[in-house]
Amino acid sequence: MYVTYIESSPERVWEALTEPELTAQYRGHSNVSDWQAGSRWEHRRTDGSGIADVAGTVLESVPPRRIAMTFDAPGEDPSGSPSKVTFEIEPYHEIVRLTVTHENLANDDALEAASAGWPAVCANLKSLLETGHVLPRAPWEMHAELRAAQMARNNPPPSGS
């Protein structure tokens, strides 16, 4: 579970979690869906390739308070139950408490990636909403080897192979 407090409104945090243009700014990927329960969602690269590094199904959508989704590599058949991410948005006066819970991780590698990724995503989201700018360096670059492994897993095979 990851918790951060953001000087913002629940509506603005919801928008930042669900609007592709905003997610591209602080995540380096666009989160694309209609965000209705049962709909597909994709975490697409912003390099124009259209490659989704993560995809899943929206399980619950209660704007602007809660969204839950499955969270796995596209086409991956998760052993047992799929990984699940839940965002809870709780207003408190002029601030919001954002809680991110990532459950049913497949293995220790997935736990390591989530433990590096979610704090970086939350820090960049908080910076964007409070200052209008993302952090001067993408925080996930501190864990470049994890990110490279995730993206390589989803790259198309080289031509001629």
Instruction: Give the CATH fold of the 2-154 domain.
Output: Alpha-D-Glucose-1,6-Bisphosphate; Chain A, domain 4 (3.30.530)
| pTM of the shown model | 0.84
φ, ψ for residue 84, nearest 5 deg:
-135, 135
Residue 57 has pLDDT above 90, yes or no: yes
Of 5, 3, 4, nearest in space to 94 by CA: 5
Please name the residue ranges forming H helices in the chain: 10-18, 20-27, 108-131, 144-154
Instruction: Read off the pLDDT of residues 63-101 as tens digits, 9 standing for 90 and up.
Output: 999 999 999 888 766 556 889 999 999 999 999 999 999
pLDDT of residue 112: 85
Query: Domain residue spans in the chain?
Result: 2-154
Place of tokens 């052993």: 79
Tell me the per-residue pLDDT of 111-128, one tens digit each, with 9 for 90 and over: 888 888 899 899 999 999
pLDDT the model gives residue 32: 97
